[in-house]
Each structure stands twice: as C-alpha cells, then as structure tokens.
A and B are shown apart, each in its own frame.
Chain A
Amino acid sequence: EPEVTQTPSHQVTQMGQEVILRCVPISNHLYFYWYRQILGQKVEFLVSFYNNEISEKSEIFDDQFSVERPDGSNFTLKIRSTKLEDSAMYFCASGRNSGDNEQFFGPGTRLTVL
C-alpha cells in the first residue's frame, strides 16, 4: 500500500541554523500539507500546497518557513533560522483531492533545536 515517507526521522540542530525536512507524498496525490505537534500539545496546521504554490497557511507559517516541491516526488519544509520553540514533531500529509479529502500522514520528523 502506498505511503507518505519522511526524512530524517530525527533532526537535531543548533538555534539559528537552517533545516530542511523532506517528504515524499503518495505518487498520485496532488495536495500536500505540513503540520506540527509540539510535545504534549495538539497537532497544528502549517501550510497546504497545490500546483506549485501555497494554497493556505496558518499564522504559525511566518517568513522563517518555506515550502517547495523541487521535483516530481519530494515536498520540503525549510526553516531558515531555527528557534528553540520550533522543536516539535513535523508531519507531512498528502491527499488526492482538495477540500474535505482524506489526508494520509507520514511518520513525522522529530526536530530538536538546542
């Protein structure tokens, strides 16, 4: 069964460093999402992406964040200058259709900012 994959599973970085989190969505899906979950808190929406552009973003997704689909398979989340409060689990998800369509989640990348 096709699945969303994410790399790395765990990333440790120093405050102020740039990180890139990678995701490979399910191959016939067209809609891509990033979510984050700070330890002990609920999952929060960051951004949705379709047709090579952001379709919706939350107030969390400020200028420090960017997303890209550099080729036909990868979907990346870049954090330009990491802060301690960026430490969280980051989940990628993909869906076949827009709107209220079922989303399939990757296993997550645990980001630790020291």
Chain B
Amino acid sequence: KNEVEQSPQNLTAQEGEFITINCSYSVGISALHWLQQHPGGGIVSLFMLSSGKKKHGRLIATINIQEKHSSLHITASHPRDSAVYICAVFQGGSEKLVFGKGTKLTVNP
C-alpha cells in the first residue's frame, strides 16, 4: 500500500472552474508539501503545512492531521495551471519526503 495516495490521478477542467486535489496518507507526519511539476520536469514548492490552511494567490491548501488528509484547491483555474500536482509528506523523525504519484491537471481554455 502506498503511504501517500492522491486523487484523482488525472483531472481535466475548463478554464475558470474550481479545482480540488486530494491527498491521504497512512503514516504519522510532521508536515506536508504540495508541489507542482511542470511538463519540462521541474518541481516547484507551492506550500508546506502542518496544520490548518494556507493561501497563496488562487491556491489554497488545507490539512486535517486527525483525518490524515490534505486538499489543494485552485480557484478560477487557468490553462497555465496545467501541471502535475504532487503531495509529499515528512514522516515524523525523518528528513526525507515521501511522495504521492501526483495528479495530472489539464485546464482547457
């Protein structure tokens, strides 16, 4: 069983739609990363959070530690948001990130 599960695996949306990507994890964690991977392969850190909610522009990330679940929301989606979104967790006591398989988002104009 994967320690980090993301859903959906693929998501297609129309420009302007509200997007939600989910991440569930089975291990105890100290923090969770949301990352964006561009078609060329580069990885950009979007958020790191250990509780509550963070907002940056049109992106919102929430985490529920008790339920071992996090969501990434994109408001007013745009074609430039098309990318793979990856959830990764820090297991307690470890420095390594454990990654989910990613959610491929395509936003059509």
To the question of whether A and B form a pair in one complex, the answer is yes
- What is A's interface to B at a CB cutoff of 8 Å? 31, 33, 35, 37, 41-45, 48, 55-56, 58, 89, 91, 98-108, 110
Is B72 an interface residue, CB under 8 A from the partner?
Answer: no
Give the secondary structure class of B's interface: strand
Contact of B96 among A48, A101, A104 (CB under 8 A): A48
Is B13 an interface residue, CB under 8 A from the partner?
Answer: no
Contact of B42 among A41, A48, A108 (CB under 8 A): A108
Within the complex, the shortest CB–CB distance from A9 to chain B, in Å, comes to 9
Identify the closest chain A residue to B101 (Cβ).
Answer: A42
- With A43-B88, A103-B33, A105-B35 as known contacts, state yes or no: A91 contacts B98, CB within 8 Å: no
Whether the Cβ atoms of A89 and B102 lie closer than 8 Å is no
How many A-B residue pairs lie within 8 Å, measured between CB atoms? 60
Whether the Cβ atoms of B33 and A55 lie closer than 8 Å is no
Q: List 29 A-B contacts (CB under 8 A).
A: A31-B95, A33-B97, A35-B97, A41-B101, A42-B86, A42-B101, A42-B102, A43-B43, A43-B86, A43-B97, A43-B99, A44-B99, A48-B95, A98-B95, A99-B90, A99-B95, A100-B31, A101-B48, A102-B45, A103-B33, A103-B45, A105-B35, A105-B42, A105-B43, A107-B40, A107-B41, A107-B42, A108-B41, A108-B42
The proximity string for B residues 21-55 relative to A, scoring 1 for CB distances below 8 Å and 0 otherwise, is: 00000000011010100001111110010100000
Q: Could you tell me the distance between the alpha carbons of A62 and B72 in the complex, rounded to whole angstroms? A: 35
Whether the Cβ atoms of A42 and B35 lie closer than 8 Å is no
Whether the Cβ atoms of B94 and A56 lie closer than 8 Å is yes
Whether the Cβ atoms of A56 and B101 lie closer than 8 Å is no
- With A42-B102, A43-B88, A102-B33 as known contacts, state yes or no: A56 contacts B42, CB within 8 Å: no
Identify the closest chain A residue to B43 (Cβ).
Answer: A105
Please name all residues of chain B whose beta carbon is closer than 8 Å to the beta carbon of A89 when the two chains form the complex: 41
